[in-house]
Amino acid sequence: MIQHDVSLLPYNTFHLQATADSLCEIKSAADLGVLYNEGKLHQPMLILGGGSNIVFTRDYEGLVLLNRVPGRTIIQEDEENVLVELGGGENWHACVQWSVNQGWGGIENMSLIPGTVGAAPVQNIGAYGVELKDVFHSLIAFDMHTGMLRTFHYSDCHFGYRDSLFKNKGKGRYFILQVLLKLNKKPAVHTRYGDIQAELAAMGVSNPGIKEVAEAVIAIRRSKLPDPAELGNCGSFFKNPVVDSALADHLQEEYPELKRFEAGPGRTKLAAGWLIEKAGWKGFRRGAVGVHSRQALVLVNYGGGTGAEIRQLAQDVQQSVLEKFGVQLEMEVNIV
């Protein structure tokens, strides 16, 4: 069941070469139970889903657990809503398409986000005005400290902006087996964020449903973001920073075109991609790594780049934006 000295190149979307001491595919709670009983879960461990949110800067001296838990199950439904249980190893975008095809709304704005279902609550993934927490019901996870299953409800997860318990205090402790989402059979579409309205207009759609919104989001993402199968990347590398509104007002005096969004009393979210582009990084290339030419929020590996080079480029971008705007960018990806 456990493989040794395994290349991690096929398991990360940055196409970075690294080797794991050992690796094991997990398809059920029983698989984890066997490892726990054999004492294999007391060593350094790394949980991987789609590998779309990680940068390997070195070989991994421990056990890599690949989340390959399958399943799409309707738990209950009524006239308004449907509760679905998705396996942690399921492809996220495939599940979004499945939901849209059933006519169930709530996650269509998160179309084409790379990765697996199990990673979705870890990051509290989101796009175009919608976050996972908006449809989250609960999840079932294996506690690798105790060998027991545990159910987490909304309040247990401590969701924040691209953040959760599983990214902080619970990092590495819980293996997410199933995620339960509450979807809407009579959905209201969300089209006000980003370029969705413009894309729908270009499509000739005046009264969109969730299918049209999903199609618009897919078109927008494909126009801006490189396909990881063709060009190594992990999508958005940095979080959109949330700053004091006073700082945003000051910046807007100098940059009237500043992209900003309200983020609560006295707080404003800024577009990280805009800041990076204005700092002169869009299209920048350093050897085999660089900043994407169509979306400055995306760092790319043109082939043969290393994780250390990606990390250094990210740090240089952070320093540049801090010096120019007084804004600290936070990496969204995990650096190993």
Quickly count: other Cβ atoms within 10 Å of residue 66's Cβ: 20
Nearest-10 Cα torsion for 85, 87, 91, 93? 10
162 is catalytic: yes
Cβ atoms of 168 and 160 closer than 8 Å: no
Residue (of 182, 152, 188) closest to 77 by Cα position: 182
Q: Tokens standing for 186?
A: 């009579």
Q: What angle do CA 43, 45, 49 make, to 5 degrees?
A: 160
Residues in the chain: 336
Strands of 298-301's sheet in order across: 232-236, 298-301, 289-291, 285-286
Q: Of the residues 22, 85, 138, 162, which is catalytic?
A: 162
332 is catalytic: yes
236 is catalytic: yes
Question: Which ranges constitute the DSSP H helices of 261-306?
Answer: 272-278
List, by residue number, the catalytic residues: 162, 236, 332
